[in-house]
Structure formats: structure tokens, C-alpha cells
Amino acid sequence: MLNKYARAFFTRVLTPFAAFLIRRGVSPDTVTLIGTAGVVAGALVFYPMGEFFWGTVVITLFVFSDLVDGNMARQLGRSSRWGAFLDSTLDRVADGAIFGGFILWYAGGGDDLVLCAVSIFCLASGQVVSYTKARGESIGLPVAVNGLVERAERLVISLVAAGFAGLHKFGVPGIQYLLPVALWIVAVGSLVTLIQRVVTVRRESAEAEEAAAAQEKPQNASQGSEAAK
């Protein structure tokens, strides 16, 4: 849902900024690298210290690079396999840094091993969810399912909750519990999404094999009749 509607909205909003960067001679790959570096810095510098509000502010400023670089590539007519590969690879790096920041906090100052384990599960399951779709497509299957919680949902839920949870340091009572709730939601949602994709790949694989077998039968029958002659 977020990929369909929010991405389209922000793409329109960020188009003038993308055009400005192009006029300045900035390349899409540069925007991708700077954006990822900013997200990693915001997550691994602020989150392990429990500074969730400021960490989320920094991450949010840089996370939109994921939309800007693609917008620039389209305006330049340079959409390429390399750009798609770099963007997808660095997305995984950024996701790892965000949940890695949560892990470091709960393993250290946050002192909560259960939430540390939940954060680890969120990190691992998010990577596997992305892998299942990429791997399924690489073997020729459409993987025609998005699932309950994709990358956009994982980021929005986690970052919004972390940002609001950080307001606890500004005197807002009880709001720090938003982040643990969000992590549990992301963990369960990621597990459901993983199951959805695995089931879809299993079904599509079986259908593809049945279709291939059905095509082979007429060919074998034709070859048999030719041999009989």
C-alpha cells in the first residue's frame, strides 16, 4: 500500500529537487551512496545511545534519497541494471543499520534481551523476505505476492515509533513503549510476509513444473508416432 500510494506522492514532491541536483552535475549513484551513509550514521550513532528522536530525524532526512536517485535516473534516461543493483544492495545495508541500532541499544543501555532478540529477528526476517522475492524471480517465477509487511511498511512503522519514543526524553510520559510495540508488529508482520512468499513460490513452482510436463507429453507422443512409422 505504501509502495503504491506514498511512493507516487513523494516522487512528485521530490521531482524539482531531483532536477536541481541534475543541474548541479550530481549523479544518481552519488545520491544513493550519500543517502545510505546518512542513514547508517544516524542509526548507528544515535540509536545505540537511546537518542531515538534525533536519530530518526537524521535518518528521515536521508531516507528520501531512495526516491530521489530513481527520479534523477528517469529524468536523465539512465535507468540501468547497475543502478537498480546498487540501490537494492544499499537498501539492505540501510535496513541492517537501523535494526542494528535497535539491537545495540537493547543489548546495552536499553538492557532488554527479549527486545534485543526481537530486533535481531526483524533484521534477519527483513533480509530473508527480500531474498525470497529476488531468488524466486531469478529462477523465472513471478512471485505474484507482496505480503503483509514490505520494506516500506517495516521502515515507516519502526521509524515513526522510534521518533515518537524519543520524545520520552523531552518529558512525554509513557510514549517510550511505542518502539517495543512497533518491533513486535514488524516481527510478526515480517514472519507472515515470509510465509506468504514461500507459499506463493511453492505454488508457482508446482504450476510451472506441471505446465512444462504438459508441454512435454504432446512432444513425446509425436516422437513415439514418428518412431512407429
Catalytic residues: 91
**Cα distance between residue 95 and residue 155, in whole Å:** 8
**54 contacts 41 by C-beta, under 8 angstroms:** no
Enumerate the known binding-site residues for a CDP-1,2-diacyl-sn-glycerol. Answer: 29-32, 70, 74, 80
Q: How far apart are the first and last CA of the chain?
A: 60
* Placement of cell 512525554 in the chain: 172
* Placement of cell 530518526 in the chain: 56
DSSP state letter for 148? S
Q: Which three cell numbers stand for residue 172?
A: 512525554
**42 contacts 162 by C-beta, under 8 angstroms:** no
Enumerate the known binding-site residues for Mg(2+). Answer: 66, 69, 87, 91
**62 contacts 39 by C-beta, under 8 angstroms:** yes
Which of 95, 128, 124 has the alpha carbon at shortest distance from 195? 128
Enumerate the known binding-site residues. Answer: 29-32, 66, 69-70, 74, 80, 87, 91
CA–CA distances in Å: residue 14 to residues 11, 27, 51, 57, 68: 5, 16, 28, 18, 6
